[in-house]
Copies of this chain bind each other. A is one copy, B any other.
Amino acid sequence: MSQNLHYPSEQGYIAQLSIDCVIFGYRDRQLHVLVPKLNFNGEFWALPSGFVYNDEDVDAAATRILQDRTGLADVYLDQFRVFGKAARTNLSFLEKLIALNPDKLGEGINNRKEYEWITRRFVTIGYYALVDMNKLVPKQNELDQSIDWYPIKDLPVLILDHNEMIATALETLRENLDRKLIAFNLLPETFTMKEVQELYEAIFDRPFARNNFQKKILDLNVLERLDKKFTGAANKAPYLYRFLNR
């Protein structure tokens, strides 16, 4: 299996259909996105992506792709949009990549076949995931040179329309945040109210009033109040909370 993992045309995938995952994390008051860098000469960043096996549910494929890079199985994951422009081809990006990597990518029969497979027009299904960054060690796969978290305000330029996909994912996250109560997926098991507020401020990129925010969140009745958290700072110790319906 690992031998011909580089040959997607032989894997029994649905052709011309792919999945791209926008994996959101939160640290240092900033929303982050997990982005691998491709293991080739040149600066190529691409969202964690993959294809769908013929006997596999699309949602299961997204979960598998996510688990491949995060090691996490039980993660909030939601389909948000299909990107289906006819001009969505890997062609121009791959030509640049091949030009910069003549040694790795020869003219062999296998490579030509794979080249045809991968340069066809692809329709991709966008998923976004919310994970607790502390619980996760990003895992490189064979195609990655590196895989790292980037603050959403300081992303590299990704291939194709991947930057646009991240923007759309963020819009969807904002729309769903209150309705689906999913913000807590980005936080550790326990957290203070201030951490929740700072998370909201990072997601919506605007301040919230401290007292009113506390009231709004507590009125949701989805938090359990635990012991206080003594930091050693010269001020009142904040309560810790835990999300109930996880």
Whether A14 touches B123, Cβ cut-off 8 Å, given contacts A79-B81, A79-B82, is yes
Q: What size tier do the contact residues of chain A reach?
A: 20 to 34
Q: Which residues 55-93 of A have a CB within 8 angstroms of B?
A: 55-60, 79, 81-82, 84-86
Whether A57 touches B86, Cβ cut-off 8 Å, given contacts A15-B16, A17-B17, is yes
- From B15, B52, B82, give the contact of A125 (CB < 8 A): B82
Residue pair A14, B85 in contact (C-beta under 8 Å): no
Encode contact with B along A40-58: 1 for CB under 8 Å, 0 otherwise.
0000000000001011111
Whether A121 sits at the interface, judged by CB under 8 Å, is yes
A-side interface residues toward B, CB under 8 Å?
A: 14-17, 52, 54-60, 79, 81-82, 84-86, 120-121, 123, 125
Docked CA distance A141–B48 (Å): 41
Residue pair A123, B52 in contact (C-beta under 8 Å): yes
Residue pair A123, B58 in contact (C-beta under 8 Å): yes
- From B17, B79, B86, give the contact of A16 (CB < 8 A): B17
Residue pair B14, A52 in contact (C-beta under 8 Å): no
Residues from chain B with a CB closer than 8 A to the CB of A57 are 84-86
Residues from chain B with a CB closer than 8 A to the CB of A125 are 82, 84
28 interchain pairs, CB-CB under 8 A: A14-B15, A14-B17, A14-B121, A14-B123, A15-B15, A15-B16, A16-B17, A17-B17, A17-B123, A52-B123, A54-B86, A54-B120, A55-B121, A56-B86, A57-B84, A57-B85, A57-B86, A58-B82, A58-B84, A58-B85, A58-B123, A59-B84, A60-B86, A79-B81, A79-B82, A82-B82, A82-B125, A84-B125
